[in-house]
Structure 1
Amino acid sequence: MSFLAPTKPKLTLRLCEPRGFCAGVDRAIQIVVLALKKYGAPVYVRHEIVHNKYVVDGLREMGAVFVRELDEVPDDGQPVVFSAHGVPKSVPAAAASREMLYLDATCPLVSKVHKQAMLHVKRGRHVVLIGHRGHPEVVGTMGQLAPGTVSLVETVEDVAAFTPEDPDALGFVTQTTLSLDDTADIVKALQAKFPAMTAPSSESICYATTNRQEAVKASAAGTDLFLIVGAPNSSNSKRLVEVAERAGSARGVLVQGPEEIPFDALTGDHPVVAMSAGASAPEVLVDAIIAALRDRFEVVIDLVRTAEENENFPVMRSLRDVPLTVADMAFVNGGA
């Protein structure tokens, strides 16, 4: 007598592309790994190099030591790396005053926003920074400018309450990881209230944020669940959850790994799930979530590709000749 194994229910998984690591995150992680190879452990890292526990824990196992401020770094001659989010000018100045070897892993697109903000000030404009208070990138951008030359706005309501000294001498920039739609509403409100306000010379929100949000928008309609792989303190990942729900998903959820999948949301004969990953989330976590779904369902993957990314940001010259193993490269690229 033969017994047939019970069949698994079907599940459609719309998998977004692009997703996961962007060029700036890839560069920042590579800088820490290369520094460990060149200088040996410990390599100190001011703040999380990127907002992802898997990445931070992996680098810690390799010998990275994460600190909040430079006063936690001993004068032992070992290098300190500044995170991809950027730092105020006071941080490299303090490192230089202690003759520390420091490596700046600030994303080049964040550095571009710094330059745009400084250009506004150079041309006599007060800077309006659209962003989230307390986020490391916002702290770093505001720290490029003298006190009194920059104001932070987070919402349309903040725009209504904003009363600058000279309404005709304003220029704005934005945090690179914001929601495109929310930012557009804030910019529209600013331009309506301050018609003479000057935009940055180029878009502040980075290509990776834009691409990931567009892929989520294209995937969301009619889904029972939208999984965004990312950390709770990752701004771009949290924005993807919001975008998914606005674009038509019944429920958007931020997950750090397969153990956080809300399987209770996957009822019915043939649930439809979509998944993307924030710019600091490694692909190994996406793979683990797909494997967990396959344990319970017969999964059919529907790839939703809205853009192709070929950007590459090289590391600083002092690290370019340091060899990496296959395992190192797998980690840098988001693998196990």
Structure 2
Amino acid sequence: MHVILAQPRGFCAGVVRAIEIVDRALERYGAPVYVRHEIVHNKAVVGGLRARGAVFVEALAEVPPQAVTIFSAHGVARAVEADARARDLRVLNATCPLVAKVHIQGRLYAAAGRVVILIGHAGHPEVEGTMGQIDGRVLLVQDEADVDALDLPAATPVAYITQTTLSVDDTRAVIAALQRRFPDLVGPDVRDICYATQNRQRAVRELCRQVDVLLVVGAANSSNSNRLREIGSESGIRSHLLADGSELDPAWVAGAATVGITAGASAPEAMVEHVIAALRALGPVEVSAMDGLEEHVEFKLPPELAGRAA
């Protein structure tokens, strides 16, 4: 079996920064440190940090007063920030800078008197945080049908923003639907969608031209990982999402001469290696990496944690 690895794949700069914030907080302040929501959507990452003393909670009511508290990479609503101040928590904000950029865009549009439309998935923590960061009216749409169902006059001044981990193609279609309905529409270019989302989707489309089966390493609750699997299926390739090699079903790769592997932005490379090991248990495997973009993006840490060895 020939295994081709997508390039790029796996961790993005926002995930690296978020994990390092928890790492350094544990080094500097000692255990426990509290993290609101999973720092990133990956059980292996969360489990490793939990073993070192990170405590993951869904509500700040679970955090003792004055405790070191980290907001996840997905971002939080202003009400959560206010609650943290009221409880006198020592907050370290691991919100991805690209998510924070969306918050700023949305606030600027709302301040200009526009109804803000957020393109995203209902219930996703990033969506909940973004909607709670913007004063004024924010409406959530997931697809073109939602756009058609909006109860707004056509002349309404409207602006759109997007969840960072969405499909570029799906977002483009929803934006086109908004343009058809609302003549007074402004918003960022689709190029402002997270660079890592775009790069990994582009790489998967290229990879699918070369393989019989696609394996996407990532968590079931990871939006960007699920979208990579969907892109594979839309390309006509048998595509499967798995957290690690223990979830590999031999039937998925039976008879496949070439298998492609990619990983979502919150999946560590160790999980990719685990999947390769599971494939090797089925028979001889030759591994190569496709030519692709090398990412060199880095985001600064909070000043309280800067300057210490990771």
Give the alignment's TM-score, normalised by structure 1: 0.89
1:263 aligns with 2:245: no
* CA distance in 1 between partners of 2:61 and 2:154 (Å): 39
SS for the counterpart of 2:185 is: coil
* CA distance in 2 between partners of 1:298 and 1:244 (Å): 24
Q: Could you tell me which of 164, 169, 173 is aligned with 1:176?
A: 164
| Code of the aligned partner of 1:272 | T
Structure 2 gap segments, 5+ residues each: none
Q: Is the 8 A contact 2:171 2:190 kept in 1?
A: no
CA pair 111-88 structure 1, distance change in 2 beyond 3 A: same
**Aligned twin of 2:143:** 155
**Aligned twin of 1:110:** 99
* CA distance in 2 between partners of 1:70 and 1:166 (Å): 41
* CA distance in 1 between partners of 2:270 and 2:3 (Å): 17
SS for the counterpart of 1:293 is: helix
RMSD of the TM alignment (CA)? Answer: 1.5
SS for the counterpart of 2:285 is: strand
**Aligned twin of 1:132:** 121
Q: Is the 8 A contact 1:218 1:304 kept in 2?
A: no
**Aligned twin of 1:80:** 69
* CA distance in 1 between partners of 2:174 and 2:307 (Å): 45
* CA distance in 2 between partners of 1:201 and 1:243 (Å): 21
C-alpha displacement at 1:202, in angstroms? 7.2
Larger C-alpha radius of gyration, 1 or 2? Answer: 1
Q: Could you tell me which of 289, 292, 296 is aligned with 1:310?
A: 296
CA pair 150-171 structure 1, distance change in 2 beyond 3 A: same
Q: Is the 8 A contact 1:230 1:280 kept in 2?
A: yes
C-alpha displacement at 1:321, in angstroms? 2.6
Q: Could you tell me which of 20, 34, 43 is aligned with 1:30?
A: 20
* CA distance in 2 between partners of 1:86 and 1:204 (Å): 17
SS for the counterpart of 1:308 is: coil
Q: Is the 8 A contact 2:154 2:182 kept in 1?
A: no
C-alpha displacement at 1:267, in angstroms? 2.5
C-alpha displacement at 1:163, in angstroms? 2.4
Q: Is the 8 A contact 2:250 2:282 kept in 1?
A: no
Q: Is the 8 A contact 1:224 1:265 kept in 2?
A: no
* CA distance in 2 between partners of 1:132 and 1:276 (Å): 23
Structure 1 gap segments, 5+ residues each: 1-10, 325-336
* CA distance in 2 between partners of 1:200 and 1:118 (Å): 13
**Aligned twin of 2:47:** 57
Give the alignment's TM-score, normalised by structure 2: 0.96
Once the two structures are superposed, what CA deviation does each residue of 1:256-285 show, in whole Å capped at 9, x if it has no partner? Answer: 0101112112233x5221110000000000
* CA distance in 1 between partners of 2:189 and 2:276 (Å): 41
C-alpha displacement at 1:165, in angstroms? 4.7
CA pair 153-177 structure 1, distance change in 2 beyond 3 A: same
* CA distance in 1 between partners of 2:55 and 2:12 (Å): 23
| Code of the aligned partner of 1:296 | L
* CA distance in 1 between partners of 2:198 and 2:291 (Å): 13
* CA distance in 2 between partners of 1:27 and 1:170 (Å): 33
C-alpha displacement at 1:302, in angstroms? 3.3
